Structure 1
């Protein structure tokens, strides 16, 4: 937000990966609309775990919240920032609220919610991705029905961050914020600034002609048993705190002499003369 603008002038592009008719997106939209001009550009249906998949061409439909696209969250951000908000580039992109947490390094490239925030970073627009941890206890996430009231914690922190993070200079140091929120539990949860967990427990099991991929990382989420160290997003969520991870995009490059030496050996083996 530039100097002299009020909160009422804040322009937000809102998207998600659960689909434009999801309860989580509607809850966030209604909360943000109280203090900002919100344009929704979201997938017409569920595109969870699609990463940064991008389409060549998609159909767009008018929706009572804004625009629905037959495409991915990344499509929605590209279309929203470059075409569907023509009067002014939004100050902020918000993705969510996702039903289900997005925790740990291995999730960052897989999640459609996170990928929408990363796509915004390539437009130099800061972003907030909000997800809600839902304990499953053997059930499937698709079988869990959540009402608007259960997104109260998510809308509270997302609202606060959209109102204050820009003016506080948070995005001078981060391209986007990965926010994970526990289900409401009687009162507002405290916030912890975290880093993504490095824990990874994907494996696979073959059954005849089929292979089933299993994400075992969710099997240990009890607060007194979780192995993730202090300061990680998974531990914060397991212990009932809101996790906010400030993250950067695009990916950085670690230039080092070892790889330079390997490139020189390749040139020698291939008979390539050194330049200069």
Structure 2
């Protein structure tokens, strides 16, 4: 990794989230050119949504720290094209998310979207998440694994990156740092079906969209199993080019077509 890269940070939990403070400390181990543009409020689950057609406010919260009343994708755009327009960031880090982002769940992840948008602008985009046990409440989370290994993982990814059309999704296990078994480069879990479903609330006629249980079976070589069962840090490289090229090649780039008579 080159000396003193310019690093832009964002997240989806909001500018005041404790995971962002962890990410700042991670980034400062790698460079002193660290900038933050993060949502003013929680934007979890927004995916890669942009705030289009509406005015959004950018507020300077401190030295090199900005809050935007928009999504993580909005924040990266603001950081790359406005706050850092004199020189674009070399690395965009998104997180550290409160809870794991695994398998197909990453499709709706604002954390992943921040890294993806950074990669689309030419930076090395890396999303980082600290796993937690949701059965014990959202306030109980130990950031020790992310704090201890975050800078090492980012540096290793940047050193391995050679300009591929790729961004990265990283998850830290629920484990004492001394019990982490290593860093594994793994595919993301493709679930048998979407894990999301509609769940009735205690208020008549009202519902939540939520994940009640993880679809089974699970692939023992994929991120979900490796993180939870092997206590390993998982790194999943994801492609920006999403075209199914095998399908394109199989059909020779064409589908059968008959022109309607008389036309």
State the TM bucket, normalised to the shorter chain.
0.7 to 0.9
1:13 to 5, 8, 12: 8
2:143 to 148, 151, 159: 151
The one-character-per-residue Cα deviations of 1:166-223 (angstroms, maximum 9, x if unpaired) are: 333x2434521100111342515121111110113333356763344341344x8xxx
Alignment of 1:13-32 (within 5 A): 13-32=8-27
Following superposition, the deviation at residue 26 of structure 1 comes to 0.4
The one-character-per-residue Cα deviations of 1:103-150 (angstroms, maximum 9, x if unpaired) are: 012x2220000011111122122211001111122x443xx144xxx3
The one-character-per-residue Cα deviations of 1:199-252 (angstroms, maximum 9, x if unpaired) are: 13333356763344341344x8xxxxx741221110011112111101111422
Alignment of 1:37-56 (within 5 A): 37-56=33-52
- The runs of at least 4 consecutive aligned structure 1 residues that moved more than 4 Å come to 205-208
Going from structure 1 to structure 2, the CA distance change for 1:271 and 1:157 (only over 3 Å counts) comes to farther
Going from structure 1 to structure 2, the CA distance change for 1:257 and 1:206 (only over 3 Å counts) comes to same
Q: Aligned residue for 2:224?
A: 234
Alpha-carbon distance between aligned partners in 2 of 1:42 and 1:270, rounded to the nearest angstrom: 56
Alpha-carbon distance between aligned partners in 2 of 1:270 and 1:188, rounded to the nearest angstrom: 70
Structure 2 runs not aligned, ≥5 long: none
8 A contact 1:174–1:246 mirrored in 2: no
Count of aligned positions:
250
Structure 1 runs not aligned, ≥5 long: 221-225
Alpha-carbon distance between aligned partners in 2 of 1:49 and 1:171, rounded to the nearest angstrom: 30
Following superposition, the deviation at residue 63 of structure 1 comes to 1.3
What SS class does the counterpart of residue 121 from structure 1 fall into?
Answer: helix
1:202 is aligned to 2:193: no
1:115 is aligned to 2:92: no
1:260 is aligned to 2:250: no
Q: Aligned residue for 1:93?
A: 92
Going from structure 1 to structure 2, the CA distance change for 1:188 and 1:124 (only over 3 Å counts) comes to farther
TM-score, normalised to structure 1's length?
0.81
Alpha-carbon distance between aligned partners in 1 of 2:232 and 2:112, rounded to the nearest angstrom: 20
8 A contact 1:118–1:250 mirrored in 2: no
Going from structure 1 to structure 2, the CA distance change for 1:271 and 1:42 (only over 3 Å counts) comes to farther
8 A contact 1:51–1:111 mirrored in 2: yes
Q: Aligned residue for 1:72?
A: 71
Alignment of 1:215-254 (within 5 A): 215-218=211-214, 227-239=217-229, 240-254=231-245
Following superposition, the deviation at residue 158 of structure 1 comes to 2.6
Q: CA RMSD in A?
A: 2.4
8 A contact 1:60–1:69 mirrored in 2: yes
Going from structure 1 to structure 2, the CA distance change for 1:210 and 1:12 (only over 3 Å counts) comes to same
